[in-house]
Amino acid sequence: MKKIMVFALLFLMLINTSMRAQEENGFRFTLKTNPLAALGGPLYVAFFPITGEYKVLFEAKTARKQSIEAGIGLLGPSVLINLDEITNNDSVSGLRTMGFRVQVAYKFFLTKEAAPEGFFVGPHFSYAKARLENKDNPDNYFEASKINMNVLFGYQIITSGGFTLNIYTGLGLKLREYVFSDETQDTWDFKTGNNVAPSVPFGFTFGYAF
């Protein structure tokens, strides 16, 4: 009887170890994007999107319940309101929009799933900068930059096939700065300079885990 109990205990320990090993040897990386960001973001003026973003994010598991995520995006004209096309006609020389965004986040996962899956919370930082310039006279420009510092929380779903959906929101601060060249400073009617405001990010990304 004792031998059976010992055998059963060892068998249960083996199953538990196997399950934990399977859990730990699951997905370690995710590659994500959001094509809808091309419609507008991350820079706005009075809720008017002056850029669209074409981004990719890479997430790597650093511990059983932790991961780090970094992303880079190229900023161009918004697909929704393309200023480059609107201003490009025979009477106006037109605009050229260009810029970039970098971001990093560290996630702490709080549910039973191992990272990078489940409910998470963690700090997030991003920096974006874009420039709208006259195509014929690059010294005539408008430049905008923004720093975001947030605490994010959200949920990341990963299917057995590796499809990933990440939904998030948060709370923090955004610091914005608008700069004009001397030639354009008097042609814009909104306030320039530094601007600090609350930040409430909300969004989603999807991609593939492996």
pLDDT digits (tens, 9 = 90+) for 103-133: 999 999 999 889 999 999 999 999 999 998 8
Q: Report how far residue 117's alpha carbon sits from residue 109's, in angstroms, rounded to the nearest whole number.
A: 7
Please give the residue that has the higher pLDDT: either 28 or 19.
28
Q: From 93, 104, 102, select the one nearest 130 (Cα to Cα).
A: 102
Q: Which neighbouring-strand residues pair with 97?
A: 132
Query: How far apart, in whole angstroms, are the C-alpha atoms of residue 210 and residue 189?
Result: 50
Task: Measure Cα distances from 58 to 69, 137, 150 in Å.
Answer: 6, 37, 19
Give the pLDDT band (50/70/90) at residue 9.
Answer: low
* Single-letter residue type at 166: N
Q: Looking at residues 1-8, what average pLDDT do you find?
A: 50
Q: Which of 52, 27, 22, 48 is nearest to 37 (CA)?
A: 52
Find out whether 208 and 30 touch, Cβ atoms under 8 Å: yes
Q: Which CATH architecture has domain 27-209?
A: Beta Barrel (2.40)
Token pair, residue 165, equals 């959906």
Length of the chain as a residue count:
210
Q: What is the pLDDT of residue 180?
A: 81
- What is the reported pLDDT for 18? 39
Percent above pLDDT 70 for the chain: 79
Per-domain residue ranges of the chain: 27-209
- Cα 45 from Cα 76, distance rounded (Å): 15
Mean of all residue pLDDT scores within the chain? 83
DSSP for 18-65, written as a single string: HHHHHHHTS--EEEEE-GGGGGS-S-EETTEE--EEEEEEEEEEEETT
Tokens 């004009």, residue located: 180
Q: Tens of pLDDT along 63-108?
A: 999 999 999 999 998 888 887 777 776 555 678 899 999 999 999 9
Classify each residue of 94-108 as buried b or exposed e, where b means 16 or more C-beta atoms within 10 Å of its C-beta.
ebbbebebebebbbe
Backbone angles phi, psi at 90, to 5 degrees: -65, -30
The tokens for 120 are 């998470």
* Pairwise CA distance, residues 77 & 51, whole Å: 5
